[in-house]
Amino acid sequence: MLREPLFHFVILGLLLFLAGRAYQTRTDVYRIEVTPAHVAQLARSYALQFGTPPDAATLEQLIQDDLRDEMLFRQGRALKLDQDDEIVRRRVVQKEQFLIQNLHAPAEPTETDLAAWYAAHVDRYAAPSRAGFSHIYFAVGPGGDAAARARAQGALARIPAGVTRGPERGDPFPDLYDFSAFEPEQVERLFGRTEFAQAVFTAPTGRWSGPFRSAYGWHLLYVAARDAPTRPPLAAVRERVRSDYLQGAQDRANAAAFEQIARRFTVVRADRKAAP
């Protein structure tokens, strides 16, 4: 019997069958093995969330809930529900980004590093200019934009010397007429990114000027005082500089890690037409 080729064929086939069944059992999508390590992970997650370890009944319920989720997840994958799903795609991308960041955390900067960073980005930490100003408002009426501007020009010529405010010389304005120590961002938030908002920080001080256009209409402007931007010493903004330095280092490390990943891929741009 040992010399029969048929016997050898049967034995080899049996071995292959058993090996295939063993592999299928280990990789079967419908076979879930609850390991002690996974149960411990469930217990740790519960303790982190609630501040105390789960009791036996709670732990068993956690295991049953986890099994239910795993069954639904595997069944969904078997039906290929994870394919072409934008939410699943975004979640996987997010997890990969977290993984890259965790593997490439930047080193703590030295004082020399911080000083160099601050010197290269000093304008980022400068305190913005501040201005105190008053304005006279002219609404755009039935006569249109040109008529409102002409009214403002006429009012400017009639303002006596020494007058620093005169809201009654124009139209009612829906907000304040006088502003103290306003920064550019505050002015733009109220008047829009307009000619008037720019003039608050460029027009001469101590006299009326204009008219300047805003999101509301036309204005005459009186800038009483304006402080130039100031650059604080490194010691005053050290924590901001450190945070920005680490973020910059992290961004560069992330970019380098992504480049290594990108080199493994071949991108075929079928959407682009071939050059003539």
pTM strictly above 0.85: no
Same domain (yes/no): 121, 141: no
Same domain (yes/no): 187, 250: no
What's the pLDDT at 13? 67
Determine, yes or no, domain membership for 80: yes
**Burial code of 242-257, b = ≥16 C-beta within 10 A, e = fewer?**
bebbbeebeeebeeeb
26: confidence class by pLDDT, cuts 50, 70, 90: very low
Same domain (yes/no): 117, 28: no
What's the pLDDT at 7? 55
Same domain (yes/no): 152, 221: yes
Structure confidence by residue, pLDDT tens digits, 64-78: 888 888 888 888 877
Question: Average pLDDT, stretch 78-87?
Answer: 79
What is d(CA 276, CA 271) in angstroms, rounded to the nearest whole number?
A: 15
Determine, yes or no, domain membership for 12: yes
Structure confidence by residue, pLDDT tens digits, 200-250: 999 999 999 989 999 899 999 999 999 888 888 888 889 999 999 999 998
What's the pLDDT at 196? 95
Cβ neighbors of 70 (< 8 A, separation 6 or more) are: 32
Determine, yes or no, domain membership for 152: yes
Q: How far is CA 154 from the centre of its chain?
A: 48
Same domain (yes/no): 264, 203: no
Structure confidence by residue, pLDDT tens digits, 108-135: 999 999 999 998 988 888 888 899 999 9
Determine, yes or no, domain membership for 151: yes
Determine, yes or no, domain membership for 1: no
Out of 70, 85, 100, pick the residue that ends a domain: 85
Q: What angle do CA 154, 195, 230 make, to 5 degrees?
A: 120
Same domain (yes/no): 97, 211: no
Determine, yes or no, domain membership for 2: no
Number of domains in the chain: 3
92: confidence class by pLDDT, cuts 50, 70, 90: confident
Same domain (yes/no): 212, 200: yes
Domain containing residue 119: 86-126+231-276
Determine, yes or no, domain membership for 76: yes
Q: What is the CATH number of the domain that holds 149?
A: 3.10.50.40
